[in-house]
Amino acid sequence: MTTQETEPRDRVSGPTVSGDNATTNTGSGDLNQDSTVTNVSGDQYQQHFYVSAYSARLKFDDGQVNYGKERRIVPGDRLATLRRRFVEPPGFDEKARRADIARHGAVVLSARPGDGVRAAAQMILAPAGEEADQDVQDDLVTNGQDGRPTLDADELRGGERLLVDLTRESGFALAPLRDELEGLRARALRAGASLVVLVEHEDVEKLHSSLRDRVVPHRRPDSLAVLAEHLDSRGVPGFFPDRATKEIRTWVSTASMGGIEGLAWRTATAYQEAGYEGRIEGWLSRALEAGEAALPEDLKDTTGRKRALLLAASLLEGVPVEHLASGVESLLAQISFPEDETPLLNRPDFHEELRDCEIGVGTERRVYFKRVGRARALRSAFWDAHPRLHDQLGQWVDALVTNQALSPADQDRVAERWAEQTLRIAEPGAVFQRVQRWVIQQRRTAPQAAVLLTTVLRHDRYGRIGRRQIYKWAESPGLGRELGQVLVAVCAQELAATHPEQAIVRLHLLAANRAVAVSEAARAELGTLAHERSLYRKVLRRVCERLPDPDHSVDRDLFWDLTAPERLVGGGSRPRTVSPGVEGLVRDGLGHVLHQRPQRTKEYAHRWIGHGAQLRKVLVAAAAGAGTLPALYTAALRWRAEAGPQDRESRRCASADLIRLIDAAEGLDTPVGTPAERRTETP
């Protein structure tokens, strides 16, 4: 994935957090985002926004996981943020490409790897000002049962934004999908959907002729301009493309867009570590050095114990020094290292061992590597050098995340670092297996299981696999209580921020789970998502489409949640108008509810009568279709009879209006005035 396609690593557009989720500052030290902890005369511990947030949602009480819903903080819209940072490549004309799509159903962008073509595709699919209207569906390519790639596109209704990535970065070959792509283009044209296909230049000839005619070469954007946008978005001052050094010009000329984003992120870290002092040239130089993959020393010359210390510190960086010491011993035991029979008091000073490894200890006794990026480099080196130890390292991590001496934030960081390495060596299945193990066998580690899933979802290559795995789990109504609640938490906390429509689908499936705790948690989170104006209609449509099935009782409950008068017309004295699209969904949905459960006519009548003429018309239309107009008439009389002194007149007028509408629906066509008033005299 390229620079302009991903969320910034420091989540600049993300939520502002406080409490357990905030950065902890215990002195005047500088921030080191890569190392989690750094030190000058004090320490700052920078946590990812989900660290401890899952611990707050997924509590372990009375021997089981219990979901505690929190107010969700929604980051700024992902596509809108992308547009603000987007640098147009030469010859880019998104309006012309949208016109091509309208005429032919699709456009194909051909590019070289790392040239930012995915970002360009998303700009074409999401016009300025309409970014939040609909998700870009970018996970249509899957592996079939025979291992061959296939397209998995649902029925198109119009307006869908479809992105099919067949570049080398996607891992899928174009040739097996040639005919399916043409079929998808034809379907998109008929339905009024938008399709963008990404291929590499040398693969253009493999396309069907109708798509080959739609190919537009994508050119690389100005690399220095891209770097400038990313530095500016992170608040790093002083970079002007026309004044860039020869070193920077040379580096960005061959770097991928993702590499440029990484450089900007490291430069922001260097700027913070310098106390926001110095010049851009110095911050960039340090960022380039930190980005090198080479280790600061040759591991071949280190002893077994020193190796264990470096490995343990690379996963446990940020923990108190005593916990690192315990972690080293548990690692040595896990890998069956010969036991040291030297008496404890005769062994080397642990702090001397740390200094020898260039590991510092802060004022809160938390350990940190003195060189930026060294912890990640060490983890990668150890994982590459010792593949036969991967299983044992996983078991060691199992023990660490269940160690109650570690704080939830420390446990979360260990889980994230293990998952990053496991994904780096292309083993997402191992991450999913550990997710299940941690929520079923080790229930206290449910928050860390959520961290594992979040790490997969954020991965450039495996994010789509993570989303599909969550869907596969969620569609099973017999999914266990513990895993179900973890999925609800991840959908609400992470997926809703990046792929809200997919979060809606998965939460809706989880709302049908047989475990009451899972169903209630998913239902509550769907209600929270629906409070966002851009998502309300999507949630409502999803629910209404399934209301005709009488076995879906959860959808009747969700429909009740979504059609509170406050949601539809507001809670003020002057009801706002419901849009025609929402009105149609509500009218049809209510008709299904009343047809299946006629006794609920009274509930909806008493809830809606006093909230404006539009809702009263919807009531009558739905009741007429369901055959419950007599029940609605009786409910109107009873609602009026229950009026108190203060609302007697308003209830009289509202009920009279409803009865006139009922008369009209029954063909009585009662004139405004006495006939309807006379009918309301007797309950």
> Which of 422, 476, 478 is closest to 453 using CA atoms?
422
Question: How confident is the model at residue 43, as a pLDDT?
Answer: 29
Name the band, by pLDDT with cuts 50, 70 and 90, for residue 69. low
Name the band, by pLDDT with cuts 50, 70 and 90, for residue 3. very low
Burial profile 114-152: b = 16 or more Cβ within 10 angstroms, e = fewer: bbbbbbbbbbbbbeeeebbebbbbbbbbeeeeeeebebe
Q: What whole-number distance in Å separates Cα of residue 10 and Cα of residue 264?
A: 11
Q: Report the range of poorest mean pLDDT among 128-132, 188-192, 459-463, 654-658.
A: 128-132
Identify the H or E element spanning 368: strand 367-369
Name the band, by pLDDT with cuts 50, 70 and 90, for residue 368. confident
Structure-model confidence comparison of residues 549 and 678, the more confident one: 549
> Which of 568, 520, 562 is closest to 545 using CA atoms?
562
Residue 403: pLDDT above 70? yes
Question: How confident is the model at residue 572, as a pLDDT?
Answer: 67
Name the band, by pLDDT with cuts 50, 70 and 90, for residue 674. very low
Average pLDDT of the residues in 70-87: 62
Residue 657: pLDDT above 60? yes
Structure-model confidence comparison of residues 663 and 301, the more confident one: 663
Q: How many CB atoms lie within 10 A of CB 272?
A: 21
Question: How confident is the model at residue 488, as a pLDDT?
Answer: 96
Structure-model confidence comparison of residues 14 and 545, the more confident one: 545
Residue 190: pLDDT above 80? yes
Name the band, by pLDDT with cuts 50, 70 and 90, for residue 514. very high
- The per-residue pLDDT for range 406-447, each reduced to its tens digit, is 988 899 999 999 999 999 999 999 999 999 999 987 778 999
Cα distances (Å, whole numbers) of residue 14 to 107, 403, 486: 32, 30, 21
- The per-residue pLDDT for range 629-645, each reduced to its tens digit, is 999 999 999 999 999 88
Question: How confident is the model at residue 670, as a pLDDT?
Answer: 58
Residue 542: pLDDT above 50? yes
Q: How many CB atoms lie within 10 A of CB 480?
A: 18
- The per-residue pLDDT for range 56-65, each reduced to its tens digit, is 778 776 677 7
Identify whether the C-beta of residue 422 lies closer than 8 Å to the C-beta of residue 430: yes
Question: How confident is the model at residue 261, as a pLDDT?
Answer: 87
Mean pLDDT (the chain, rounded): 83
Question: How confident is the model at residue 671, as a pLDDT?
Answer: 55
Question: How confident is the model at residue 463, as a pLDDT?
Answer: 92
Structure-model confidence comparison of residues 535 and 395, the more confident one: 395
> Which of 240, 242, 318 is closest to 32 using CA atoms?
318
Q: Report the range of poorest mean pLDDT among 55-64, 217-226, 318-327, 411-420.
A: 55-64
Identify whether the C-beta of residue 20 lies closer than 8 Å to the C-beta of residue 133: no
Residues 6+ apart with CB under 8 A from 610: 639, 647, 650, 651, 654
- The one-character DSSP state at 492 is I
Q: How many CB atoms lie within 10 A of CB 186?
A: 14
Name the band, by pLDDT with cuts 50, 70 and 90, for residue 532. confident
Residue 48: pLDDT above 90? no
Question: How confident is the model at residue 579, as a pLDDT?
Answer: 85
Q: What whole-number distance in Å separates Cα of residue 37 and Cα of residue 34?
A: 8
Residue 21: pLDDT above 80? no
Identify whether the C-beta of residue 629 lies closer than 8 Å to the C-beta of residue 599: no
Question: How confident is the model at residue 676, as a pLDDT?
Answer: 47
> Which of 405, 493, 389, 392 is closest to 449 using CA atoms?
493
pTM over 0.85: no
> Which of 221, 293, 290, 294 is closest to 252 using CA atoms?
221
Identify whether the C-beta of residue 29 lies closer than 8 Å to the C-beta of residue 43: yes
> Helix, strand or coil for residue 406?
coil
Structure-model confidence comparison of residues 670 and 215, the more confident one: 215
Question: How confident is the model at residue 372, as a pLDDT?
Answer: 67
Helices 481-490 and 516-530 cross at an angle (nearest 10°) of 10
Identify whether the C-beta of residue 522 lies closer than 8 Å to the C-beta of residue 510: yes
> Helix, strand or coil for residue 55?
helix
- The per-residue pLDDT for range 263-293, each reduced to its tens digit, is 998 898 888 767 788 899 988 987 886 655 5
Question: How confident is the model at residue 627, as a pLDDT?
Answer: 96
Average pLDDT of the residues in 1-10: 34
Q: How many CB atoms lie within 10 A of CB 576?
A: 11
Question: How confident is the model at residue 363, as a pLDDT?
Answer: 63
Token pair for residue 21?
């989720």
Structure-model confidence comparison of residues 354 and 150, the more confident one: 354
Average pLDDT of the residues in 83-103: 92
Query: First vs last Cα of the chain: how many Å apart?
Result: 67
Q: Which amino acid belongs to residue 43?
A: D
Token pair for residue 81?
């943020």
Residues 6+ apart with CB under 8 A from 398: 434, 437, 438, 442
- The per-residue pLDDT for range 233-257, each reduced to its tens digit, is 889 999 999 999 988 998 899 888 8
Residue 16: pLDDT above 50? no
Question: How confident is the model at residue 298, as a pLDDT?
Answer: 57
Question: How confident is the model at residue 91, as a pLDDT?
Answer: 93
- Phi, psi for residue 142 in degrees, rounded to 5: -135, 170
Cα distances (Å, whole numbers) of residue 499 to 1, 449, 462, 623, 678: 16, 20, 15, 37, 55
Cα distances (Å, whole numbers) of residue 54 to 68, 192, 451, 505, 508: 10, 40, 8, 21, 20
- The one-character DSSP state at 578 is P
Token pair for residue 681?
């005299």
Residues 6+ apart with CB under 8 A from 483: 435, 436, 439, 440, 449, 473
Cα distances (Å, whole numbers) of residue 291 to 3, 187, 250, 257, 383: 15, 45, 15, 14, 19
Name the band, by pLDDT with cuts 50, 70 and 90, for residue 483. very high
Question: How confident is the model at residue 581, as a pLDDT?
Answer: 87
Structure-model confidence comparison of residues 105 and 45, the more confident one: 105
Cα distances (Å, whole numbers) of residue 235 to 44, 73, 119, 265: 19, 22, 22, 11
Question: How confident is the model at residue 505, as a pLDDT?
Answer: 94
